[in-house]
Amino acid sequence: MELKPYLADRKYLVESALDRLLPAADREPRALTGAMRYSLLIGGKRLRPILTLACCEAVGGALERAMNFACAMECVHTYSLIHDDLPAMDNDDLRRGHPTCHRQYGEATAILAGDALLTHAFELAAKPVTGVLPEARLELIGELAMAAGTYGMVGGQMLDIQGEKRPLELVQLQNIHIHKTGALIRVACLAGARLGGGTPDQVKHLKRYGEALGLAFQITDDILDEVGDTKTLGKATGVDRALDKATYPKLMGLAQAREAAENLMQEATRCLTEFGPQADPLRALAQYVIARTH
């Protein structure tokens, strides 16, 4: 299958839905709604919402069933980027080729825009969805909160900050990524599968797919920071190296990091064995995550 037009189409669907589901730009307080919309709509791959939609499709569900939750995933992801970029955290000036939220709107507004996006994610996740039982939606809200909070993304960011101050071993680096990026990608897949009406076995396989893909994605992100360039990525590269930060290429060597990503990609693909052609986008996505580092 052709991944590029598929991704372009799904990105368009997600961005149209986000535009519709976010507080309107003329809604007061405009600095806040402006900052929320700015950070969400300036771009991004939309990987997490696209995974949610693709897992929904893979189990034969209609896209609409997963759209609110898909947008919630992107709200959580974007809020985490806004807060991670803050002066007290990574102090980044550039994100997706544009000034970071606090550079554009000021620090107080950026903190609040992140808070509002996180809150909005749960508002979206709680919206009624035809054909999905309320119990299932409640369970997914619990899963999203677990994946985004202390035991997931926020905990991972904390471990990451602590890790900057001392040399890390590979197992510690993996632990950071399993929490910081892995948990959210996993729940993106899990939610799509459940909202689409997947069987418990299908849900289990797609959750495992998400785990493998999430780790592969982080390894390739580290590789791109080594070998990519600012223009292609829309953000500064070599940052991790300059900060003497632990990365997979640094701890394993570049070739071994590529091999690890390749192995994870194959594992992700194996999780899809029992799925038909409806899972082709997921198969192509696993290939794509690797391909971008070559």
Residues at the site binding its own copies, with contacts judged by CB under 8 A: 23, 27-29, 31-33, 36, 79, 83, 86, 88-89, 106-109, 111-112, 114-116, 118-120, 122-123, 125-128, 133-135, 137-139, 141-142, 144-146, 148-151, 154-155, 157-159, 161-162
Please give the Cα distance from 182 to 186 (Å, whole number). 6
- How far apart are CB 203 and its own copies at their closest, in Å? 18
Helix (H) or strand (E) holding 176: helix 170-177
In the chain, the amino acid numbered 269 is: T
- How far apart are CB 126 and its own copies at their closest, in Å? 4
Is the distance from CB of 136 to CB of 83 less than 8 angstroms? no
Shorter beta-carbon distance to its own copies: residue 39 or 220 = 39
Shorter beta-carbon distance to its own copies: residue 29 or 253 = 29
Shorter beta-carbon distance to its own copies: residue 57 or 92 = 92
Shorter beta-carbon distance to its own copies: residue 31 or 233 = 31
Per-residue HEC secondary structure of 218-241 comes to: HHHHHHHHHHCCHHHHCCCCCHHH
- How far apart are CB 293 and its own copies at their closest, in Å? 29
Shorter beta-carbon distance to its own copies: residue 84 or 280 = 84
- How far apart are CB 275 and its own copies at their closest, in Å? 29
At how many degrees (to 10) do helices 200-227 and 47-58 cross? Answer: 150
Torsions phi, psi of 236, nearest 5?
-65, 140
Q: Which of 184, 182, 206 is nearest to 194 (CA)?
A: 206
- How far apart are CB 184 and its own copies at their closest, in Å? 11
CA 240 from centroid of its chain's CA atoms = 19
Is the distance from CB of 54 to CB of 192 less than 8 angstroms? yes
Shorter beta-carbon distance to its own copies: residue 65 or 258 = 65
Q: Which of 53, 97, 98 is nearest to 71 (CA)?
A: 53
